Amino acid sequence: MDFLHSVEFYVIVLLVAALAVGLLAMPSGHGPVETSFAEGFLTYDQAAGPEPRLELECLPDGNVKITRHGLPDNLDNAATAALAISRKGFDLTVEERLTPASRPLLASETSAVNTAVYILTGLARERYHLRFNSDSTSSFTTLTFVNRPGLRSTRVFRQA
């Protein structure tokens, strides 16, 4: 019975209580990974310039508009641009998929493109970390943004 009144007993009780509080306060992790897709709209922007870059704009409705400048020269308006978006918590990993037209078209039916516009939906007004990978150009860029209306950011692509 003397053990219950000893200093050692109270030190052990204090350590067990601190461990329990630490376990309860620890975050549960990011949760499951969600994958979604977004289709791009291909255009030609004369003011875009040749440098590959990414422009991000947070829209008032909560969506995020991503404009990708500097597409490869082998694409025309018959090509397909799409994103595979993996979301784990507030980390977004975006894989760009650029596919040239499946059949050759007449020169009168095609026009050059250098810009793709994507809309990301379903994002809360939180802080996100975005990694944008483009396998077709072997390049990537990263940025952190807060999804607040009017926020704009530009990043240049780097070679992977």
Q: What is the pLDDT of residue 28?
A: 64
Domain membership flag for residue 73: yes
* Contact yes or no for 34/86 (Cβ under 8 A): yes
The pLDDT of residue 106 is 64
Total tally of structural domains belonging to the chain: 1
On whether residue 3 sits in a domain, the answer given is no
Is residue 65 in a domain?
A: yes
Confirm whether 18 is domain-assigned.
no
What was the pLDDT predicted at 73?
81
In a domain, 8, yes or no: no
pLDDT computed for residue 74 by the predictor: 79
Which amino acid is it at 110?
T
Q: Are 30 and 91 in contact (CB under 8 A)?
A: yes
Cα–Cα distance, 159 to 46 (Å, whole number): 24
Residues of the chain with pLDDT under 50: none
Q: Is residue 47 part of a domain?
A: yes
Distance CA 144, CA 156 (A): 14
The answer to whether position 142 is within a domain reads yes
Edge-to-edge strands of the sheet including 91-99?
A: 34-39, 80-88, 91-99, 127-134, 139-146, 158-159
Beta strands 91-99 and 127-134: pairing type? parallel
Inside any domain, residue 22: no
Structural domain for 128, as ranges: 34-159
Sort 17 into a burial class: Cβ within 10 Å, 0-12 / 13-18 / 19+: exposed
- At 101 the pLDDT is 78
**pLDDT recorded at residue 38:** 93
pLDDT at 95: 95
